[in-house]
Amino acid sequence: MSTSIEEFSPALPSVIDQLRSAVAGSVHAPGTGGYDLAVAPFNLAAVHHPAAVVVASSAADVAATVRIARRVGKKIAVFATGHGAAAATPDSIMINTSLLDNVVIDPQAKLATVGAGVRWQRVLDEATPHGLAALCGSAPDAGVVGVTLGGGMGPIARTMGFAADHVIEIEVVTGDGTLRRINASTDPDLFFAIRGGGAAFGIVTQITFRLFEIQTLHAGGLFFDIVDAARVVHGWREWVQQIPESVSSSIAILNLPPLEDLPEPLRGRSVVHVRYAHVGDVENDDALVTYLRCLGTPILDNLTEIMYADIAAIHADPTDPLPVMERSVLLRELPVEAVDEFLAVASPSGGLPLILTEIRAMGGAMSRQPEVPNAVVGRDAAFNLFTLGPDVPDLHDVLPGALESVLGAMAPYATGAALPGFAGEPTGEPAKRVMTGWSPETLTRLVAIRDQYDPERIFAGAARW
């Protein structure tokens, strides 16, 4: 019979007691209402079971939690909004960052400084009155830090680059429990690694990044019935190879449930969704948009001039929690044959249990390293393929195989790598795909930096590789 140290020494405080005496925020044990609330994910398939959850009230709480986790031999997991695919395990202590919610906009310097618990929409809403825009992802209810650390590929990324390319300062707690404020001059290696390499190096408590003078976009989506799919997707493929850098676009095949929340023409239907965003002079894009509209008969057309803060309308991602499993791979090219494969696997006739399979056009500003280079993967990719299915009990065992078969069909055109935010849960093939994104030299450099700042791999519960 195994006996724990705590059973031998009843005077030794439990992990929960140690945390409670060290942090000002609340500490929750499994089986309590506070715990359930603090770990309730957006992706309902990523069910978190940490040994404890600390709702940090300050960066000092994060640092104290890391030091205790190290002392008691636990990993650290992190939770901001629960949009991620990783589930925290009982060998971890989870840090919930939702109370680190400071947002400071500096309109003169065109900078935002935000706490680790802040969601993009809040930054958009606070930057808009100053005529400024933040480079969020397609779903502005996701977290600023989580999205940015994986790269952050948003609806205007071809024009503006990855969110991580515009980070200028980070406050982070590293494996020794030290809170550091880092930038390109103070800690060039760590600053390189976190921007793209993510939580493998520490827990970010605050981040500062550039804002841009963008108030409106000509943007939105066109939906076509699945019967038009071949013409629309092949037509988009030809069109997208010629678009200027001021335009970003993606295309998705969606198999939608009959939900009341969906616009009536989309309910219970399989459709093709073409997304479009043009930064700059709207006069120039009439021809581009007319071409897209003529690819079929749109059943819904919400392509118009929008306020930047309404950028969520472009992808119209779901805003209510749902259980999904996801996979992704970067594509180096999209020849005609690749579109045929895409149509075969993603359409309902392919017989796979998929909700969404999308291709985002990359290139443009994403293909260039920023002035201060970072570890974001995908600079060499032309497209990003992403697919997800419903992780419900009936499908749980078959879904990984179904999602992998989509990637298998696209393998001849793939680089083999994946962006961390889209890859799926951070084990097995998805984690390998993330690491494949780095050259052997860069991976060696990242591992050396990780060994320096987290030699005990305490952040394995938060990292995506």
Ligand X SMILES: Cc1cc2nc3c(=O)[nH]c(=O)nc-3n(C[C@H](O)[C@H](O)[C@H](O)COP(=O)(O)OP(=O)(O)OC[C@H]3O[C@@H](n4cnc5c(N)ncnc54)[C@H](O)[C@@H]3O)c2cc1C
> Which residues are near ligand X by CB under 6 A?
43, 78-84, 86, 97, 116, 137-139, 142-143, 145-147, 149-154, 198-199, 203-204, 317, 421, 462, 464
- Residue nearer to ligand X on the CB measure, 235 or 437: 437
- Residue nearer to ligand X on the CB measure, 406 or 419: 419
Smallest gap from residue 450 Cβ to ligand X (A): 13
Tokens of 375: 């570890």
Smallest gap from residue 344 Cβ to ligand X (A): 25
- Residue nearer to ligand X on the CB measure, 97 or 121: 97
- Residue nearer to ligand X on the CB measure, 68 or 95: 95
SS3 annotation, 92-136: EEEEECCCCCCEEEECCCCEEEEECCCEHHHHHHHHHHHCCECCC
Smallest gap from residue 256 Cβ to ligand X (A): 15
Smallest gap from residue 403 Cβ to ligand X (A): 15
Give the integer Cα–Cα distance in Å for 366 and 362. 7
SS3 annotation, 377-429: CCCCCCEEEEEEEECCCCCCCCHHHHHHHHHHHHHHHECCCCCCCCCCCCCHH
- Residue nearer to ligand X on the CB measure, 54 or 139: 139
Asked if 420 contacts 434 with a C-beta cutoff of 8 angstroms, the reply is yes
Smallest gap from residue 153 Cβ to ligand X (A): 4
Tokens of 238: 């030809």
Within 8 A by CB and 6+ apart from 1, the residues are: none
Smallest gap from residue 134 Cβ to ligand X (A): 13
Nearest residue to ligand X on Cβ basis: 146
Give the integer Cα–Cα distance in Å for 126 and 346. 38
Asked if 151 contacts 384 with a C-beta cutoff of 8 angstroms, the reply is no
Smallest gap from residue 46 Cβ to ligand X (A): 7
Estimate the share of the chain in helix, then strand, then coil, as percent rounded to the nearest 5.
35, 25, 40
Asked if 42 contacts 82 with a C-beta cutoff of 8 angstroms, the reply is yes
- Residue nearer to ligand X on the CB measure, 279 or 295: 279
Smallest gap from residue 464 Cβ to ligand X (A): 5
- Residue nearer to ligand X on the CB measure, 146 or 350: 146
| Entry field: residues in the chain | 465
- From the list 210, 4, 223, the residue with the least C-alpha distance to 112 is 210
- Residue nearer to ligand X on the CB measure, 132 or 199: 199
- Residue nearer to ligand X on the CB measure, 155 or 400: 155
Smallest gap from residue 13 Cβ to ligand X (A): 27
Tokens of 71: 């002392």
Give the integer Cα–Cα distance in Å for 339 and 356. 15
